[in-house]
Structure 1
Amino acid sequence: MMKNSRIALCLFLCLIAWRVDAVEVMEVNEVSLNAAGSYSNPYLDVDLWVTLSGPSGESYLVPAFWDGEDVFRVRLVATSAGKWSWSTGAATNDLGLDNKSGTFVATATTEMQKDANPNRRGFIRTHGTTLQYADGTPFFFTGDTVWVAFTKIFPWDTAGIAGTSFQDYFSERKRQGFNGVNVIASYPTDTTMSAEGVWAREVRGQKVSETDLTPFEIVSDKADYTRIHPAYWQETDKKMKYLFDNGFVPLFESVRRHEIWPRKSSDQKDAFTNYTRYLIARYGCYNMIYSWLHWDTVDRVYPDWLPLVENAHAYLKSKNGTGQLPYGQPRTAMAYGSSLQTWAKDDPALLDLHNVSNKYRDERMYVWLREMYRDPRPLPAMNVEPYYPSVPVGEVDGLDPTEMAQFQMYGSVLNGGFAGHAWGDAYFGGVAFWIDKKHPIPADERQQTHALTRWKSFAMKHLKDFMLDAGHDYRDLKPASDTHLGDSHGDMHALAVSAHDQSFALGLATKGFPSTFVKGLLPNVDYVFQWWHVETGGWQDAITLTTNDAGELHWPSVPDSSRNWGYRIRRKD
């Protein structure tokens, strides 16, 4: 009897310890440490890394970040269930930071939790020319464009300049099926009213925190990149956590290319490495696609920024041997045009994922995407800045702005952008964006009023459904607009076919262009053909068609010639 009592007591004590020390897999376990030394600039002076070890041999090297006064924090994430341990080593020569260690227990995540929040499936990895969660579930980036989401333009709980709160906006985007967002971490030189700023005049000086903090100290109206403001980033913390908890994966860009960073003194330029480290330390605990830089236009800025990015990458590589993020999330760098022809040409080790961006915003982008797929070192790819409805760049005769956006959505993906697609939202600044920046912005042109419904952006969900449908495996596709269409009419129609056999194909028939046929299929074989409604989703009635002696299959008539249509061809069993 006494023996059983002792066992019960031990179990009770273990349960208490479990409750105190346990977290769930993919849940952040934040550890705080207090420095014993005194530093003139802890942001630059302290380089603290923590080794995280798991029950199955997992090992991650995670940087800590300065969070004000003498406080340093590290955000640890268990990627499997079991007992985990961490240690700080002895690199800082600070008694409050060195030789610290601890343990915690991670409990498994249920399938119900994973269904509710796919981010609980693990950190995103590359998989051939696609992306997937750590548990093997495909991830298809279905992104919105809200570059200023982390500023006061999208405030917490209340409606700001954008006409909506951060939570209300992303709650609606989640309901609409979005799982990603393009966002820039901060705008150091766009935080004062005297700054030239970018985009609409109405948001000049508004790219600050909700309490008007700036990401860096401002000296003589200029950002001092060597002096970071932890309190600014503390306000960003809750937004990043909200995105993770609601299944969003940010395309998380360090800073916009208009910053004068590369033209500053050497100590300022060197601090870009510290900034990169800080972003990764503070937010690398979440699922993201990390972009070294937001380079969306102006060819001449690229040579200035490349050395700064390479230095940051070299620093990470000196720490972990790879230059990867601590938990292995994909890295890219926005390219004005093609990342294959710019970043990858100069330093391929920078990228795990390719992108095309901004330049042209029409069918000419498809050539770049096909080149990426066919490169000897293929990586997943996506169009991160396609056609923006209401911004007159890239129009095609006969297509209205909504149809043009659909053309870029399906055309980009089918031509090799199998990692996903970003919706080109003209309200990315929180207000409608006018190219000439001169016309007044109507009071009702706000994110809440129009961005969520105008141009039928909600149809992005149907693009994801089209690609991930259980009736085919999109991971086995290769772009084929230029090889398997009788006539693409200058890349106005799009096609991707099975890379290993002739069993299936996905395509886009663009409104207003003559019909064509698919070639390179098996001759004299029955295929099931189905049209896909790009605005409402869903497959139309199946039609059985037979290829001719040359393996050609001609499209049936579209259900409605006044719109774009997707389609699927599957070999009949």
Structure 2
Amino acid sequence: MSSATTIAQYDIFEHEIKADIPGNPYLDTEFWGVFALNNRKIRVPGFYDGDGVFKVRFSPDHPGDWTLTTESDTAALNGQTASFTATEPREGVRGPVHVRNRFHFAYADGTPYFPFTTTCYAWTHQPLEMQEQTFKSLEDTRAFNKLRMCVMPKSYPYNQNEPLHDVYEVRADGKYDPDRPNFAAFRHFENQIARLAEMNIEADVIIFHPYDRWDHCMWTEEQDYRYLQYLVARIAAYRNVWWSLANEYDFMLDVKPMDRWDRFFQIIEETDPYLHPKSIHQGNPDLCYDHRKPWVSHVSIQHSDVSQTPEWRAQYGKPVLNDEMHYEGNILQFWGNITAETMVHRFWMTVLKGGYAGHGETYVHPQDLLWWAKGGELRGQSPERIAFLRKIIEEDVSEGLTPVDEIPGFRSHRLVASSKEGDLTYIYLGEHRPVVLSTGLPMEDGDYEIDIIDGWNMTITPGKKVPAPVPVATRHGAITRGGKPDAAFGVELPGNPYLCVRVRRRR
């Protein structure tokens, strides 16, 4: 972030106005910045930052000489001007992420982006030392390039401590005053988003959630809208922001009805000029938001049956992110006690069925220091194996994988994940252990590079081609032999589970 007259593309230009305005400027003032480059004009909301300071932020999407003019019904905030020059992006800075190729994502410069997500709901509300440990864990594992994180603190099992900062001022009854933000809390939150950006980690910002002892769930419609508009004005300029309207929105429908959730999306549409990805997350699988609505960019879902990933693609026609597939850990709740092997298996299944997966970790700790709740230290075995999968996908794939069920002439077993991109085919066998694989392999002969990938042991070894076996057919319980091979060749496999066969035709 800079107030200098020269900044790099996708960095942040900030213009500050100091004005002594009576009353409560959070409630009573509104101002906008109009940024112009040649004949382009982009209108961006400004915000109040306390102590008589007003700010407007902008992230230029193109190099050149930009100008700013402010607009407001408040005289002190109207008609201010500034200018700056945007240069080429800094090395490694690719801009905001957007949907590309219908089911996938790319940065603004066209570089593909494949989300590998983890959840640390209230990490920015923990002691600073623990927040530093979170950064270190993310840097050391290199497994995750997206982090789900709440604006508001949480009140929930394993997360009962007081937050580092109250997001709004606290009234005598212990509840937040929705008319008085704690500006220090917002500054801290956005600073942590900025640090994630420098690590090339997207910040999936969860705006509302039901786990609340501060009564932020109970705000009026007007108070909700004001909070949302304020948040967008403050952080939309950060290139790594994603909008998650809620964690488990359906648990709040009694106080925030469906039409309010629709309006939340529309407010972001109206005030975020960068069109960051936006979605919403449910608790009950039967109460999914209608992700087909035009303002939803991608599907954010909570479901343990990852075999349904192609069905969600077909149902919604958008990228599918299964943000909660249960968590690696050993707590009492069943959603938080799957094994590391199961977590890794669900990642492979989801990714190779054309979707994207979310990690979380919930190991019992004497001080309730659980990664899923507070960040800090990762203790599980899945992150390094998720990093292994991420490296493979980022090296192999350029446009995005398509599950073979969507390709004419191909079919896969529900509990096997198979996908393609051009001459590249993956077949992930999960718990299945055939001695020879032929189903799903190319039908035409040719020169192929074949690898056996062990997702748990993190090894890649050359595969051995063998003659394609003739499939065994069954009819009314009787076994018959005959017919033709269902592929041009077979691949010999060792007997261990969680294997993936990678086949790439050499041209």
TM-score range, shorter chain: 0.7 to 0.9
Relative to 1, partners in 2 of residues 1:122 and 1:263: Cα closer, same or farther, differing over 3 Å?
closer
The alignment-based identity, stated in percent, is 16
The equivalent of 1:104 in structure 2 is: 84
Instruction: Name which of 412, 416, 427 aligns with 1:507.
Output: 427
The equivalent of 2:472 in structure 1 is: none
The equivalent of 1:242 in structure 2 is: 195
Q: Aligned equivalents of 2:286 and 2:404: distance in 1?
A: 18
Give CA deviations for 1:150-171 in whole Å, capped at 9, x if unaligned.
10x2x33x2xxxxxx3233223
**Are 1:285 and 2:220 an aligned pair?**
no
Contact 1:384 1:421 in 2 (8 A): yes
The equivalent of 1:52 in structure 2 is: 35
Correspondences of 1:481-496 after superposition (within 5 Å) = 488=413, 491-496=414-419
Deviation at 1:394, TM superposition (A): 6.6
Contact 2:249 2:280 in 1 (8 A): no
Instruction: Name which of 397, 400, 403 aligns with 2:341.
Output: 403
Instruction: Name which of 497, 500, 504 aligns with 1:566.
Output: 500
The equivalent of 1:422 in structure 2 is: 358
Contact 1:84 1:104 in 2 (8 A): yes
Contact 1:181 1:251 in 2 (8 A): yes
Correspondences of 1:297-376 after superposition (within 5 Å) = 298=251, 301=253, 304-317=256-269, 319=270, 325-336=272-283, 341-344=288-291, 348-357=293-302, 359=303, 361=304, 364-367=305-308, 369-375=309-315
Deviation at 1:244, TM superposition (A): 1.3
SS at match of 2:381: helix
Q: Aligned equivalents of 2:444 and 2:336: distance in 1?
A: 38
Relative to 1, partners in 2 of residues 1:245 and 1:263: Cα closer, same or farther, differing over 3 Å?
closer
Q: Aligned equivalents of 1:450 and 1:149: distance in 2?
A: 8
Contact 2:19 2:54 in 1 (8 A): yes
Q: Aligned equivalents of 2:375 and 2:326: distance in 1?
A: 21
Deviation at 1:247, TM superposition (A): 1.5
- CA-based RMSD: 3.4
SS at match of 1:556: strand
Q: Aligned equivalents of 1:172 and 1:186: distance in 2?
A: 23
Counterpart residue identity of residue 244, structure 1 = A
Contact 1:78 1:106 in 2 (8 A): yes
SS at match of 1:454: coil
Q: Aligned equivalents of 1:74 and 1:19: distance in 2?
A: 11
Q: Give me the TM-score of the superposition, normalised by structure 2.
A: 0.84
Give CA deviations for 1:117-147 in whole Å, capped at 9, x if unaligned.
xxx1111111021111111101111222111
Contact 1:270 1:308 in 2 (8 A): no
Counterpart residue identity of residue 452, structure 1 = L
Contact 2:65 2:83 in 1 (8 A): yes
Contact 1:332 1:354 in 2 (8 A): yes
Counterpart residue identity of residue 453, structure 2 = W
Relative to 1, partners in 2 of residues 1:277 and 1:44: Cα closer, same or farther, differing over 3 Å?
same
Contact 1:62 1:281 in 2 (8 A): yes
Instruction: Name which of 42, 55, 62 aligns with 1:73.
Output: 55
Q: Aligned equivalents of 1:166 and 1:467: distance in 2?
A: 29
Deviation at 1:337, TM superposition (A): 5.7
Contact 2:454 2:500 in 1 (8 A): yes
Deviation at 1:452, TM superposition (A): 2.1
Instruction: Name which of 146, 149, 154 aligns with 2:120.
Output: 146
**Are 1:38 and 2:22 an aligned pair?**
yes
Q: Aligned equivalents of 1:19 and 1:93: distance in 2?
A: 24
**Are 1:478 and 2:414 an aligned pair?**
no
Relative to 1, partners in 2 of residues 1:296 and 1:525: Cα closer, same or farther, differing over 3 Å?
farther
Counterpart residue identity of residue 18, structure 2 = N
Where structure 1 has 5 or more consecutive residues not aligned to the other structure, the ranges are 1-17, 115-119, 159-164, 191-196, 433-440
Relative to 1, partners in 2 of residues 1:150 and 1:449: Cα closer, same or farther, differing over 3 Å?
closer
Relative to 1, partners in 2 of residues 1:340 and 1:552: Cα closer, same or farther, differing over 3 Å?
farther
Contact 2:10 2:59 in 1 (8 A): yes
Q: Aligned equivalents of 2:46 and 2:375: distance in 1?
A: 41
SS at match of 2:176: strand
Q: Aligned equivalents of 2:351 and 2:61: distance in 1?
A: 30
**Are 1:124 and 2:97 an aligned pair?**
yes
Deviation at 1:529, TM superposition (A): 2.5
Contact 2:131 2:376 in 1 (8 A): no
Higher strand share: 2
Relative to 1, partners in 2 of residues 1:20 and 1:510: Cα closer, same or farther, differing over 3 Å?
closer
Relative to 1, partners in 2 of residues 1:372 and 1:302: Cα closer, same or farther, differing over 3 Å?
farther
Deviation at 1:148, TM superposition (A): 0.8
Name the count of aligned residue pairs: 483
Deviation at 1:388, TM superposition (A): 0.5
Relative to 1, partners in 2 of residues 1:536 and 1:121: Cα closer, same or farther, differing over 3 Å?
farther
Deviates more, 1:254-263 or 1:523-532: 254-263
Q: Aligned equivalents of 1:237 and 1:426: distance in 2?
A: 26
Correspondences of 1:181-330 after superposition (within 5 Å) = 181-187=147-153, 190=154, 197-200=155-158, 203-209=159-165, 213-259=166-212, 264=218, 268-286=220-238, 287-295=240-248, 298=251, 301=253, 304-317=256-269, 319=270, 325-330=272-277
SS at match of 2:77: coil
Relative to 1, partners in 2 of residues 1:66 and 1:553: Cα closer, same or farther, differing over 3 Å?
farther
Instruction: Name which of 485, 491, 498 aligns with 1:556.
Output: 491
Where structure 2 has 5 or more consecutive residues not aligned to the other structure, the ranges are 470-483
The equivalent of 2:452 in structure 1 is: 531
Contact 2:247 2:280 in 1 (8 A): yes
Give CA deviations for 1:196-243 in whole Å, capped at 9, x if unaligned.
x2122xx4242342xxx3434335222233332212212223212211
Q: Aligned equivalents of 1:518 and 1:384: distance in 2?
A: 30
Q: Aligned equivalents of 1:337 and 1:526: distance in 2?
A: 48
Relative to 1, partners in 2 of residues 1:481 and 1:423: Cα closer, same or farther, differing over 3 Å?
farther
The equivalent of 2:474 in structure 1 is: none
